[in-house]
Chains A and B, each alone.
Chain A
Amino acid sequence: QVQLQESGPGLVKPSGTLSLTCAVSGASIISSDWFGWVRQASGKGLEWIGDIYGSGSGSTIYNPSLKSRVTISLDKSKKQFSLRLKSVTAADTAEYYCARRNSDYFDYWGQGTLVTVSS
């Protein structure tokens, strides 16, 4: 059974950097799947942040609206991948989900973690 679990600070100061990690179990992270992040502001819809490829060079794809502030990386030895979002504002307050993307669709999701941007 594939499981993903997010972890990281629940509170980040404005202009700071949001950092989250997703631990993957029950599946290889060195695979032909993509691993990514999706967020959801309270009462709002889903917003794709970006993905990283589990095989080869670890190619990344980012949402153009966030690309200048986002970095997703992969730690194969620890079976986890990470999200860094810099220069955060209150608009970045959201539930952050990590997920595995098999081909075009997200088939496994973490439970989500709430990150609040506030001083």
Chain B
Amino acid sequence: EIVLTQSPATLSLSPGERATLSCRASQSVRSYLAWYQQKRGQAPRLLIYDASNRATGIPARFSGSGSGTDFTLTISSLEPEDFAVYYCQQRSNWLITFGQGTRLEIK
């Protein structure tokens, strides 16, 4: 099973700042990695797939990068609605795993 480790656990920033979230895989997942946003009381929402492709309707301030074992989700300029929990997810050998999440909170 591939383990995804997200860092930091919590990120405290102000609106307008740039956010950089990390996801590291225990072995290569090539580019088969997604990012989700989950707001309190809501289901997760797909933001990025295949490491760097924005899902339908996702604002351009969200971008993803990386391949192999190291991936990054960047939010270029934080909006108030971006403060939430973010998860990475991979599928390898038919099995799916999620990272433990990064909480993005208002400073």
Contact = CB atoms under 8 A, between A and B. Distances in A.
Interface of A: 36, 38, 45-48, 51, 61, 63-64, 97, 99, 104-107, 109-112
Contacts of A104: 32, 34, 49-50, 90-91
Interface of B is mostly: strand
B43 A97 contact: yes
A38 B46 CA distance: 14
A112 B38 CA distance: 12
Interface of A is mostly: strand
Nearest to B1: A64
A107 B96 CA distance: 14
Contact of A110 (B34, B43, B45): B43
A76 B5 CA distance: 37
B87 A46 contact: yes
Q: How large is the interface on B (under 10, 10 to 19, 20 to 34, 35 or more residues)?
A: 20 to 34
Contacts of B46: 105-107
A43 B25 CA distance: 23
- State the 4 A-B residue pairs at the shortest beta-carbon distance, nearest first: A109-B43, A48-B96, A104-B91, A46-B98
Given A36-B96, A105-B91, A109-B43, 16 more contacts: A38-B44, A45-B87, A46-B44, A46-B101, A47-B98, A48-B98, A64-B1, A64-B95, A99-B43, A104-B34, A104-B50, A106-B34, A106-B44, A109-B44, A109-B45, A110-B43
